[in-house]
Structure 1
Amino acid sequence: MELTPRQLMAYNGTDRSKPIYVALKGCIYDVTAGASFYGPGGPYAMFAGKDASRALAKMSKNEADISFSLEGLSEKEMGVLNDWEKKFQAKYPIVGRVV
Structure 2
Amino acid sequence: MPGFEPKTTVQLDPPKDDPISVEELSKMNGKEGAKCYVAIKGKVYDVSGSKAYQPGGSYHVFAGKDASRALGLMSTKESDAVPEWKDLDDKEKKILDDWVTYFSKRYNIVGRVEGATNTE
1:30 maps onto 2:46 in alignment: yes
Match in the other structure for 1:42 = 57
Q: How does 1:1-80 map to 2 (within 5 A)?
A: 1-16=18-33, 18-34=34-50, 36-80=51-95
Alpha-carbon distance in 1 for matches of 2:52, 2:25: 18
Alpha-carbon distance in 2 for matches of 1:70, 1:47: 15
Superposed CA deviations along residues 5-55 of structure 1, whole A, max 9, x for unmatched, are 121011000030x32100000000000111x10000000001000000000
How far 1:77 sits from its partner (Å)? 0.4
Instruction: Give the letter for the 1:5 counterpart.
Output: V
Q: Which runs of 5+ in 2 are unaligned?
A: 1-17, 115-120
TM-score normalised by L of structure 2: 0.78
Deviates more, 1:73-82 or 1:60-69: 60-69
Alpha-carbon distance in 1 for matches of 2:93, 2:61: 21
Alpha-carbon distance in 2 for matches of 1:97, 1:19: 15
Alpha-carbon distance in 1 for matches of 2:66, 2:45: 10
Q: Which runs of 5+ in 1 are unaligned?
A: none
Alpha-carbon distance in 1 for matches of 2:106, 2:31: 22
SS at match of 2:110: strand
